Chain A
Amino acid sequence: MTASISVVHLFNVARGESEAAELSDAITERHLADWEGEWMPALFNAVRRLKRKGVPTREWPQSSHWNWRRKVNALHGILASPGFSIVCNGMTQGLMMVDTATHRCRVDSQNGKHLVYIEYVENAPWNRPELFDPPRFRGVGSILIRAAVALSEELEFRGRIGLHSLPQADSFYANTCGMTDLGADLDYEGLRYFEMTPKQARAFVTWGRLP
Chain B
Amino acid sequence: MKLRISKAWCTRMAELEGDTEIGAGRLAIDPPFDGETIPVVDRFDEPNIAFGRLNNLMRRRRGLSIEGLAMAANVTVTELVEIENDVRYNPSLQTIDKLASYFNLPRSGLMQMAGLTASKDASLSERAVRYVARTESTAELTPEENAALEGFMAVLSEQK
Residues of A within 8 A of B (CB): 4-6, 8-11, 18, 23, 25, 29-30, 32-34, 36-38, 40-41, 43-44, 47-48, 50-52, 57, 60-67, 69-70, 73, 94, 118-123, 128-130, 134-135, 138-144, 146-147, 150-151, 154, 163-166, 168-169, 171-173, 176, 188-189, 191, 205, 207-210
Q: Is the pair A63, B8 in contact by a Cβ cutoff of 8 Å? A: no
Do A36 and B41 contact each other (CB < 8 Å), given the known contacts A11-B11, A139-B10? Answer: yes
- Least Cβ–Cβ distance between A154 and chain B, in angstroms: 6
Interfacial chain B residues near A134, Cβ < 8 Å: 19
Q: Is the pair B35, A50 in contact by a Cβ cutoff of 8 Å? A: yes
Do A11 and B15 contact each other (CB < 8 Å), given the known contacts A128-B21, A166-B27? Answer: yes
A142: contacting residue among B8, B16, B32, CB under 8 A? B16
Q: Is the pair B111, A210 in contact by a Cβ cutoff of 8 Å? A: no
B156 within 8 A of A: no
Which partner residue on chain B sits nearest A118 by CB separation?
A: B24
Could you tell me the distance between the alpha carbons of A91 and B13 in the complex, rounded to whole angstroms?
Answer: 21
Sort A-B residue pairs by CB-CB distance and give the 5 closest, nearest first: A141-B22, A139-B14, A51-B35, A208-B9, A37-B108
Q: Is the pair A208, B36 in contact by a Cβ cutoff of 8 Å? A: no
Interfacial chain A residues near B132, Cβ < 8 Å: none
Interfacial chain A residues near B108, Cβ < 8 Å: 33-34, 37-38
Interfacial chain A residues near B19, Cβ < 8 Å: 129, 134-135, 138
Q: Is the pair B111, A48 in contact by a Cβ cutoff of 8 Å? A: no
Q: Is the pair A60, B33 in contact by a Cβ cutoff of 8 Å? A: yes
Interfacial chain A residues near B20, Cβ < 8 Å: 129, 141, 169, 171-172, 176
Give 4 A-B pairs besides A118-B25, A142-B10, A209-B8 with Cβ atoms closer than 8 angstroms: A37-B117, A40-B41, A168-B23, A191-B26
Interfacial chain A residues near B27, Cβ < 8 Å: 62, 166, 189, 191
B39 within 8 A of A: yes
Interfacial chain B residues near A40, Cβ < 8 Å: 38-39, 41, 93
Count chain B residues whose beta carbon lies closer than 8 angstroms to a beta carbon of A: 49
A-B contact number at CB 8 A: 212
Which partner residue on chain A sits nearest B2 by CB separation?
A: A4
Q: Is the pair B120, A30 in contact by a Cβ cutoff of 8 Å? A: yes
Could you tell me the distance between the alpha carbons of A106 and B32 in the complex, rounded to whole angstroms?
Answer: 30
Interfacial chain B residues near A61, Cβ < 8 Å: 21, 23
- Least Cβ–Cβ distance between A168 and chain B, in angstroms: 4
Q: Is the pair A65, B30 in contact by a Cβ cutoff of 8 Å? A: yes
Q: Is the pair A65, B32 in contact by a Cβ cutoff of 8 Å? A: yes
Q: Is the pair A44, B39 in contact by a Cβ cutoff of 8 Å? A: yes
